[in-house]
A and B are shown apart, each in its own frame.
Chain A
Amino acid sequence: DVKVTQSSRYLVKRTGEKVFLECVQDMDHENMFWYRQDPGLGLRLIYFSYDVKMKEKGDIPEGYSVSREKKERFSLILESASTNQTSMYLCASSSHGALEEKLFFGSGTQLSVL
């Protein structure tokens, strides 16, 4: 079974802290994604990566950065956490982009910024 693992299920941080959300996949997938999920807004794409050290901005990249030093690991970084970044963060991966290629998701990290 494909496994996408997010390091924390729940995280509580203070405003201004630097926050790292880690994601690891074990299926040698090229593509990895970070989405943010908010009630009434669905999932919105923050950043994605299609190769090691490659990254592309999604729809809402402001306030976030990412790192992909190894193929299996994709990190989301909040340089200075703010309360409006309190949300559920979902990591996903997929193989090369055939149209029907589905995304495999991790269980999510519920981040609270106080």
Chain B
Amino acid sequence: AQKITQTQPGMFVQEKEAVTLDCTYDTSDPSYGLFWYKQPSSGEMIFLIYQGSYDQQNATEGRYSLNFQKARKSANLVISASQLGDSAMYFCAMREVSGSARQLTFGSGTQLTVLP
């Protein structure tokens, strides 16, 4: 079974509007961490935001927020006031405590295009 599922291969949003990128995950670990990365066309992976499974509040970083719904096993990324520079591939990832607990497992990504 997929550990990280991103069901939206592509998304479009109008500049200055908000957009939600979906991510669901599958784990039996009680403790885990969830990450979002951005990959512009240049190829570099840019860390955006982190949410721990025991964090009481949803994580926020500037225009990025993570809508964490633990019971639903979802960790959606919300980008407010979209900018043209937000056009990129976005990846959701998870680290589990079990096993070596060092690597991240990534989803298949969502290509976001911001329209002027």
Contact = CB atoms under 8 A, between A and B. Distances in A.
B35 interface: yes
Interface footprint category on B? 20 to 34
Contacts of A42: 4, 6, 91, 106-109
Interface stretch (B12-20, B37-45, B71-79): B37-45
B45 A45 contact: no
Contacts of A88: 43
A75 interface: no
Interface residues of A, number: 29
Contacts of B44: 105-108
A2 B43 CA distance: 17
A99 B95 contact: yes
Interface of A: 31, 33, 35, 40-45, 48, 50, 56, 58, 88, 90, 92, 94, 97, 99-108, 110
Interface of B: 4, 6, 9, 31-33, 35, 37, 42-45, 47, 50, 52, 91, 93, 95, 97, 100-109
